[in-house]
Structure 1
């Protein structure tokens, strides 16, 4: 099974099409890179795969042009070794994509956040199965008839079974007011969200609205009953981790996850620090137009706020898988990793999706922010890949690249299907 991230819809604007020259996708070998990897990568980029076996292979350059995706960064893990390449450009007319180019990971932030929460649970600072309202301090989940029957727990928040609303966050355009975390959790009433579409000067009472573009985060069905993807649930986790530790979320995640997993080019600061912006990719809409003002800002850090590289995400996924299989445990014990990666409703563990049966199980997650699409997958044997793009149609491209990698490395799952 390939996780199809190409169907996740984002708002687009109609405009002129900016076409990426094909030559931009024909990058040469990086200094000091492995020769075997370079040969394999050349076969991959010249043999992207459609979902059905037997379809003719496609080239990365052609597909980037067709889908208006200026840049792609790819990390492949084989035998526990991570190697990476960049293709295309970080911005049209700008620098080439390098393995160190930063992308918004979007919802791949969720499994990273989950590891931090599980590390605190492992240390006895959080209860996976207790009522989270007992640990939340300055904001509480509004009680209702659903929470009277069953409680919202950390476990249910992490595996999207807590009955929480708000599936996705659109972020906030650069230069626009950015709400506080509590404001996001409290949300905006419908009339305020409608007003946010118009010029404030047209409404004398617009100033009464907090600049929040999503609904309140609430429980809308009984916790523990069914799977329903919720970025709002992970925003509650963000609040919970801050309340329990008393630390800013970016610093806490750096201490608990980023440093131990050697994610040296990653951070949860939104917006980026000024000295990091030259390394950041510019996001593009499906029309080929750049997202106005540049990357959106996501105060919903736990759900969508990570800036990173495919190499760093690959180190993270590899570390989680190693803990899962008992090879080493820089953050999580094997017992905790087994809890994390036991699939529940919707095939979600506590953070990532978990598919397959031993010895070919794998974890995966996709991420979609405005103008950024990413895909991560890692098998339990330590083979996998991470693909990050700076175009709204990057999901379709990432799936094609992932099938090409699966074919080249003969993965037990993820190759084109024979019909």
Structure 2
């Protein structure tokens, strides 16, 4: 039932959309789809993903990651505000927070340098362009992300949490658990919930991953103000691994994103362990049978 698809469920990946979309974007000079075309079937979908965005399970019944859900939210923002998403974000978020080095559309004439983009083999590539800018195309700096972090906290001059962009109550609701896997809370209304904190809150943040390899990761403990930001290209997982190690250091917990990375290695280790046990048992019983046979022959 499409009527059960809500903004809350789109934010928490519980709207029943089963696209699983990540976006690789378009190389320079390649035509870019309209947002309506992308929602019908994204031509820049990551390998192995169909690109079609539709309701595949009952909304509200389960967590299912959907990049297409955030593209749909992008369209909602544009239709409600009457502005392109990038313009709305500039006026509603970046300017009020003083994020002067942030944009969803890169200006080739910008006076600020853009970091180099690297493939896995260390060769450089030109940055891609995206239709799904809300999900994939934020250009920013460490200093601007730090300002965004600080807006989740009370300021040194008693500036309010949210800095007027969002209310403290809204930010708190965003940290409530909405998406779960195996009974574990992993997603709020936008933020990922990485690990629980001593005050029964969550370390929050988000990760970004794209092909060619871009990996970004941010983590914040709203109770203490501690956080970490890692932005890198050339590796699909380095930023996430570093940020996840920070979470483990701070909480002793393996966070939401690190566990799936470790799982294949754990399964392999368990498999090798069982193989060693099986070979040892077979060897033991083979030796025992031969010993019994030898004793009988004498």
TM-score, normalised to structure 2's length?
0.72
1:47-196 alignment, distance < 5 Å: 146-147=1-2, 151-166=4-19, 167-187=21-41
Structure 1 equivalent of residue 196 of structure 2: 356
Residue in 2 that maps onto 1:385: 228
Q: Give the corresponding residue for 1:345.
A: 179
Matched, 1:223 2:76: no
Which one has a larger percent helix, Structure 1 or Structure 2? 2
Q: Please say which of residues 153-162 and 306-315 is displaced more in the overlay.
A: 306-315
The structure-2 alpha-carbon separation of the partners of 1:214 and 1:283, relative to structure 1 and needing over 3 Å to count, comes to farther
Provide the C-alpha distance between the structure 1 equivalents of 2:207 and 2:59, rounded to a whole number of angstroms. 24
CA contact (8 A) 1:314 1:385 kept: no
Larger CA Rg, structure 1 vs 2: 2
Secondary structure of the corresponding residue to residue 4 of structure 2: coil
Cα contact 1:184–1:214 (8 A) shared by 2: no
The 5 A counterparts of 1:231-250 are 231-250=67-86
CA contact (8 A) 2:231 2:239 kept: no
CA contact (8 A) 1:169 1:214 kept: no
Aligned-residue offset at 1:214: 5.5
> What residue number does 1:264 align with?
100
User: Is this contact kept in 1: 2:177–2:187, CA < 8 A?
Assistant: yes
Question: Given the superposition, is the C-alpha separation of residues 287 and 259 from structure 1 closer, same or farther in structure 2, using an over 3 Å criterion?
Answer: same
Output the CA distance in 2 between the equivalents of 1:337 and 1:351.
10
Deviation of residue 258 (structure 1)? 1.1
CA distance in 2, matches of 1:228, 1:341: 18
Gap regions ≥5 residues in structure 1: 1-145, 198-212
CA apart distance, 1:257: 1.2
Q: Deviations over 1:341-373 (max 9, x none)?
A: 112223201111123134363112111123321
- Equivalent in the alignment of 1:312: 144
Q: CA 1:298 to 1:225, structure 2 compared with 1: closer, same or farther past 3 Å? A: same
TM-score normalized by the length of structure 1: 0.52
| Cα deviation, residue 319, structure 1 | 1.1
Cα pair distance change 1:319/1:161, threshold 3 Å: same
Other-structure match for 2:161:
328
Rate the CA distance shift 1:414–1:273 in 2: closer, same or farther, 3 A: farther
CA RMSD for the aligned pairs?
3.0
Please give the alpha-carbon distance, in whole angstroms, between the structure 2 residues aligned to 1:415 and 1:164. 27
SS across alignment from 1:219: coil
Counterpart in the other structure of 1:366? 207
Shift of 1:263: 1.5
Quick check: 1:321–1:378 contact (8 Å CA) kept in 2? no
Q: Deviations over 1:364-402 (max 9, x none)?
A: 211112332111001112110111012134x23552376
Counterpart in the other structure of 2:118? 284
Pick closer, same or farther for the CA change 1:153–1:406 going to 2, 3 Å.
closer
Q: Distance in 1 between matches of 2:253 and 2:115?
A: 28
- In 2, are the aligned partners of 1:375 and 1:387 still within 8 Å (CA)? yes
Mark the CA change 1:321 to 1:161 in structure 2 (over 3 Å): closer, same or farther: farther
> What are the Cα deviations for residues 62-116 of structure 1, in whole angstroms up to 9, with x where unaligned?
xxxxxxxxxxxxxxxxxxxxxxxxxxxxxxxxxxxxxxxxxxxxxxxxxxxxxxx
> Structure 1's 275 and 283: CA in aligned 2 closer, same or farther, altered over 3 A?
same
Extract unaligned runs of 5+ from structure 2.
181-185, 256-298
Q: Is the 8 A contact 1:320 1:332 kept in 2?
A: no
- What is the SS of the residue equivalent to 1:365? strand
Aligned to 1:35: none
Change (3 A) 1:224 1:401: closer
